[in-house]
């Protein structure tokens, strides 16, 4: 029986995909099978078989259990803007029930670790009545929160954690991702988060020269707090 988590960010560009790929890589190194989905993505680029999203492609390339791109990223919008605005521009409509159906279908494939990566922050609208959080609630998943370490991150992290709890979901753990290498009082901010967030810190990822070095990202992460352990060799 594998473990499934929803990966949320404290803001856009907090590093959800970076950390998701780091978590997948860390699990891969433990001999575990992995699977990741990006149900909604905004921002398309040309692919060999049609438009793709760069973040979704990174997940696809990192996970061990291969799925067709259309299952990893069932909803893709052209413009890199808020999903509900992108949907309106393309004459489409997002509904959580439909997204949840896509996700549940893909999750039928067995894997030791499964990640569902959100888009933007916790309350990014999908339509005028539902947000990205609504999908996590519909799926009843524990949440891994990626904290983009920069000025303002304390407010963003604490509000996001509070919203996750208010929505009835468990914060399984959080990762500090240093997106601003020159952030003042980094250690003091880390201490504040460690004391005020009621969940384990899975790792502190420094600002990396190569943000796609997922092996290095994985080296800063500890999956033990998620209940994952290396698979015994057969």
Question: CB-hemisphere CA count at 13 Å for 21?
Answer: 19
Quote the tokens at residue 2.
Answer: 């594998």
Residue tagged active-site, from 3, 38, 114, 150: 38
What SS3 state is found at 155? helix
Q: For the beta carbon of residue 166, count every other beta carbon within 10 angstroms.
A: 9
The b/e string for 88-127 (b: 16+ C-beta within 10 A; e otherwise) is eeeeeebebeebbebbeebbeeebbbbbbbbbbbbebbbe
Contact 36, 59 (CB under 8 A): yes
- Our answer to whether residue 216 is catalytic in this structure is no
Contact 41, 55 (CB under 8 A): yes
Distance CA 120, CA 12 (A): 4
What SS3 state is found at 13? coil
Distance CA 71, CA 38 (A): 9
> Residue written as tokens 């997922």?
214
> Residue written as tokens 């259309």?
70
Point out the residues that are catalytic.
38
């Amino acid at each position: 029986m594998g473990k499934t988590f929803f990966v949320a960010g404290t803001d856009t560009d907090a590093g959800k995909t970076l950390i998701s790929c780091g978590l997948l890589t860390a699990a891969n190194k433990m001999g575990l099978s992995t699977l990741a989905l990006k149900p909604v993505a905004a921002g398309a680029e040309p692919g060999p078989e049609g438009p793709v999203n760069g973040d979704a492609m990174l997940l696809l390339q990192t996970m061990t259990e291969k799925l067709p791109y259309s299952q990893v990223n069932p909803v893709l919008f052209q413009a890199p803007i808020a999903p509900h605005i992108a949907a309106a521009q393309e004459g489409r409509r997002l509904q959580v029930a439909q997204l949840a159906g896509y996700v549940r279908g893909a999750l039928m494939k067995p894997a030791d670790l499964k990640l569902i990566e959100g888009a933007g922050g916790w309350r990014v609208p999908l339509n005028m009545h539902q947000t990205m959080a609504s999908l996590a609630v519909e799926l009843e998943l524990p949440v891994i929160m990626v904290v983009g370490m920069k000025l303002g991150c304390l407010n963003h992290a604490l509000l996001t954690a509070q919203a996750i709890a208010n929505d009835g979901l468990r914060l399984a753990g959080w990762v500090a991702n240093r997106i601003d290498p020159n952030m003042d009082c980094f250690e003091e901010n880390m201490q504040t988060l460690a004391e005020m967030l009621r969940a384990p810190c899975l790792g502190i990822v420094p600002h990396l020269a190569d943000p796609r070095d997922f092996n290095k990202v994985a080296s800063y992460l500890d999956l033990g707090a998620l209940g994952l352990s290396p698979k015994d060799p057969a």
